Amino acid sequence: MKWVDVYDIAIELDEAYPDTDPLTVSFPQLYEWVMGLDGFDDDPERCGEKVLEGIQMAWIEERQ
């Protein structure tokens, strides 16, 4: 997975952290969790606030 795979990342986060409300996760924590996902392989420098916002929104949608 790469940073642009926001929906795939959201699905993986939802499976890895089923009891976590995505709105309560800080961006630094979200960054660390994404970096730790199995199958994630992208340059850490390519991530910014907009990418993390997109991942968070996709995760919220995944929950609904």
Tell me the residue type at 27.
F
CA distance 5 to 36: 15
Structure pTM?
Answer: 0.94
Query: Measured between alpha carbons, how far is residue 9 from residues 18, 40 in Å?
Result: 14, 8
**In this predicted structure, what is the pLDDT of residue 43?**
96
Percent of the chain residues past pLDDT 90, beyond the cut: 97
Question: What pLDDT digit, counting tens, does each position of 2-15 carry?
Answer: 999 999 999 999 99
Domain residue limits, the chain: 6-63
Q: What is the mean pLDDT of residues 27-49?
A: 97
Residues in the chain: 64
Domain 6-63 has CATH 2.30.30.100: no
CA distance 57 to 49: 12
Query: Measured between alpha carbons, how far is residue 42 from residues 3, 5, 23, 45 in Å?
Result: 7, 11, 24, 9
Tell me the residue type at 55.
I
Chain-wide mean pLDDT for the chain?
97
